[in-house]
Amino acid sequence: MRTFEILLLSLNVLILVIFLWKRGKARKLVLALSGAGLIILALQLAVEHYRWQMVPAYGLTFFLFLWSVKKFRSHSHRLRHPALKAAVVILGALYIVITIGLPMLLPVFETAKPSGPYAIGTATYHWIDDEREEKLTEDPSDKRQLMVQIWYPAEPDGDEKLSTYIPDISGLQTAVQQEYGIPGFFLDYLRNLNTHASIKAKVSQAQPNYPLLLFAHGFPGTRYTNTSQVEELVSHGYIIACIDYSYNSIATVLPNKKLVLLSDNVPELNDWESWDQLISDTWVPDSIFVLDQMEQLNDKDPNGILKGKINLTSVGMFGHSFGGAAAAQTLLADSRFKAGMNMDGTLFGKGDLKDGLKQPFLMMNVKTADINNADEPNDEELEQIGLTREDFNFIAKEILMRKNNLLKNGGYSVIIDQIDHLSFTDLYLLSPFFSWNRQMTPRQAHTIINAYTLDFFDKHLKRKTDTLFDLPSSPFPEVKVSLPAIKK
């Protein structure tokens, strides 16, 4: 919770305690405290802004003020009937639980402060690929359009605004309501989330140029679901282009306010061929197109920010889940990418990885339990998720084979215990409810993930030799690292 929210809730609890246990002995104090509560409420609305989770606290603040005024004037303080007093205590306690619980369970969270020496700037670009038809619309004249948010080391002068975490909250609200049935107002408080990045700040002059990374989100995801990871990398001297893969992200808002939602044309779970095709026919060309645009941006930036600041000889790509598969296939298709990383993604794609990749590649996965026949789903469980026994056996075998192929030619593996698939994103920061029973907090998970991500790209794009991969063992007991075999 934020500062004024904590002050307001704490003051309300204090006033209730005084009301119930001090009775009439502190009428002036209670009146003064409840008046102070109104002042703090006004400051909270002005500085931190309204959010619906605080409505019970707002109501309690007004109630306590009016009640204190009434008691001050009437000189009547005692709840005479024991049952009435007990009811007031129970109802008051329940109300306090709701009042405090809502803002704690759905907080206005902050991503961790980046640890690097660079401040952060960000700018968003809208690019149209005139060479490719948009296959997911009915209009044959539509061309493929992408929104790309670029993050870079900056020297802000203090006049810039901080970028919001979610670029267009109304688009996300519409998307989650249509896709998942969650009322749009439920997410309204997320408009109060800010990043550590200044909008269109001047690029840092500390280095002549900076390595470039492309980030690919999961399916469905958004370009901002890994903001805490992106900010950490940028603070250590990287330019990162985060891509919204239109019609495969939760919501993409184009400059004309056109809202592009997740396509209805999503493959079935067991349609391995279609998932492969989606990566190779859409996500890989999108990623290559973005790198082409970054080359043009380095030559001429319409925002006057990044011209000449992108080191196009040191380019990498990383992604989560489906985006991690896109990263592997993009490196296979385009040698301009010098290193890549997949965060817990199944290796979809039509490109043949049987000989691995020529570039260094890191597979970062969660630790999974050893599976025996007793652990395998039964036929009823498979039917519930739409798979046959043959589908399951094929997928299990194919996943392992593709991973082994990818790693056999210079591949790195990092396996992290006590986390799960979504720990690689910022999702668990949305509520402690998501992680209350997990062994590792979201921020601890991000610390480990970010450390290995940064050191991998530092090793292969900045040629550093003192990284985590150069140590005899991991400093994190939850991590197991497998290095590529040394070639003779």
If asked whether residues 402 and 344 sit together in one domain, one would say yes
β-pair partners for 420: none
If asked whether residues 281 and 361 sit together in one domain, one would say yes
Q: Does some domain include residue 113?
A: no
Q: Which of 73, 105, 137 is the last residue of a domain?
A: 105
Q: Taking each helix axis from N to C terminus, what angle separates 284-299 and 322-333, rounded to the nearest 10 degrees?
A: 70
Q: Structurally, how many domains does the chain consist of?
A: 2
- Phi and psi at 414, nearest 5°, equal -125, 120
Q: Does some domain include residue 237?
A: yes
Q: In what order do the strands lie in the sheet with 119-133?
A: 162-164, 194-199, 119-133, 143-154, 239-244, 210-216, 310-320, 339-343, 361-366, 411-416, 479-482
Model confidence over 391-432: pLDDT tens digits? 787 777 888 889 988 988 879 999 999 999 999 999 999 988
The mean pLDDT value for 57-73 works out to: 88
If asked whether residues 245 and 124 sit together in one domain, one would say yes
Q: Does some domain include residue 334?
A: yes
DSSP secondary structure letters along 317-349: EEEETHHHHHHHHHHHH-TT--EEEEES-----
What range defines the domain where residue 404 resides?
119-482
CB-CB contact of 8 with 42 (8 Å):
no
Q: Does some domain include residue 218?
A: yes
If asked whether residues 126 and 82 sit together in one domain, one would say no
- As a residue count, the chain comes to 488
Mean pLDDT of the chain: 90
CA distance 323 to 426: 15
Is residue 149 predicted with pLDDT exceeding 70? Answer: yes
If asked whether residues 96 and 124 sit together in one domain, one would say no
Q: Does some domain include residue 112?
A: no
The closest alpha carbon to 212, from 167, 152, 170, belongs to 152
Model confidence over 74-114: pLDDT tens digits? 755 555 567 766 776 787 788 888 898 899 888 999 899 99
If asked whether residues 208 and 239 sit together in one domain, one would say yes
Is residue 369 predicted with pLDDT exceeding 70? Answer: no
If asked whether residues 308 and 234 sit together in one domain, one would say yes
Q: Which of 105, 140, 172 is the last residue of a domain?
A: 105
If asked whether residues 211 and 321 sit together in one domain, one would say yes
Q: Which of 49, 80, 105 is the last residue of a domain?
A: 105
DSSP state of 208: S
CA distance 121 to 197: 5
CA distance 485 to 346: 23
Q: Does some domain include residue 396?
A: yes
CB-CB contact of 353 with 332 (8 Å):
yes
If asked whether residues 376 and 473 sit together in one domain, one would say yes
If asked whether residues 41 and 183 sit together in one domain, one would say no
Report the percent of the chain where pLDDT is more than 90: 66
Q: Which amino acid is at 237?
A: G
pLDDT in the model for residue 488: 39
The closest alpha carbon to 1, from 192, 230, 226, 198, belongs to 192
If asked whether residues 244 and 97 sit together in one domain, one would say no
